[in-house]
Structure 1
Amino acid sequence: MAACLAVMAAAVFVNVVLRYGFGSGVAASEELSRLLFVWMVFIGATAAYPRGEHMAFTSFLLPLRSRPRALMLMAAVIRAAVVLAASLVAWGAWQQVRVGMDSQSVVLGYSSALLPLPALLSSLAIALMALWQLLRAAPLDLSHDLEVE
């Protein structure tokens, strides 16, 4: 993520300086920035999932703390929903990857499949992590109780 951000920031900075300072720019910097931004977002989403850093509505689950069976059932329902949602995103991303294989970006000429590919990889990884948590019956992390989410 840091490498994506560094290259993206440098490309945009150089392009801004060239445009406003010299009246020209590097056309490839916009495509490169967009591609790196998409990859950075999905790498971050994948890295955030196992750490429990995605948005959570723990205020709905806090009343279930005193009922461990209900909390475990809710954890299973939540994880099954995550697996389903991530699978649907993966399916849609796969469709876009297949469409993108036949076309190339305008300036840099990379395969257009590289734009939806991180969504496919990220959603598959998140679905597998949620499925693993579901199969292990891992308890939910409710340590966010001091925050309203």
Structure 2
Amino acid sequence: MRRIVEAYFALLRLAIAGLLAAMVILVFGNVVLRYGFNSGITSSEELSRLAFVWLIFLGAALALRDHAHIGIDTLIRMLPAALARPAVLLGYALMLLACVLLLQGVWGQLALTWATTTPVTGISIGWFLVPALVFAVTALGLLLAEGIGIATGRVDLSHVVLVQESEDQPMTLAEGGHGAPVR
């Protein structure tokens, strides 16, 4: 199972790199064509916008896995272990609820907008919503797995990165830091 998860996130990283490259080519190529040849790529704006939306949601999924989103765990670090676990689980439950609501909303919007197309390329507006669906499903899986690990005691909260402040070496809760990431 771990191999499948690692392959999935490696695929997300490759997709992000490809999307970023496509955005650079589209935007830079369009600028060169407009100023150098009084021409342009008509679909450049719509395609780069679509790539940007995908890039943001796929990047958010990777950031969630690496615990790189903005968060405040000061209260959790101050609580005794008996209260820290329920507080963390409450946070996970709220995040799961947010993901379920996002999933419901995106699904409803997909049903409404799939037949609507963009003016230049004719791509379905639904393709702008699919990355939110991918994020919601990925986040549900990650949060559920981590939440179950914390609830069952397989994950020790003293070694969990709840919030990663920088890319410097993380410290454990006992050292006043956040510990190693949960995977």
Q: TM-score, normalised by structure 2?
A: 0.73
- In the TM superposition, 1:14-29 aligns within 5 A as 14-29=29-44
- In the TM superposition, 1:91-110 aligns within 5 A as 91-110=104-123
The one of 110, 123, 128 aligned to 2:141: 128
Is this contact kept in 2: 1:83–1:128, CA < 8 A?
no
Is this contact kept in 2: 1:91–1:120, CA < 8 A?
no
Higher relative contact order, chain-length normalized (CA < 8 Å, sep 6+) = 1
Aligned to 1:141: 161
Deviations 1:80-107 (A, max 9, x none): 0110011111111112211221112222
SS for the counterpart of 1:34 is helix
Deviations 1:20-70 (A, max 9, x none): 222221110101100000001111111111211111102232212xx1111
Is this contact kept in 2: 1:90–1:124, CA < 8 A?
yes
**Within 2, Cα distance between the matches of 1:59 and 1:71?**
11
Q: TM-score, normalised by structure 1?
A: 0.88
Aligned to 1:81: 94
Percent identity of paired positions between Structure 1 and Structure 2: 32
**Within 2, Cα distance between the matches of 1:20 and 1:93?**
39
Paired letter, 1:73: P
**Within 2, Cα distance between the matches of 1:91 and 1:13?**
37
**Within 1, Cα distance between the matches of 2:88 and 2:76?**
9
**Within 2, Cα distance between the matches of 1:123 and 1:85?**
9
Structure 1 unmatched ranges of 5 or more: none
**Within 2, Cα distance between the matches of 1:37 and 1:99?**
22
Q: CA deviation at 1:74?
A: 0.8
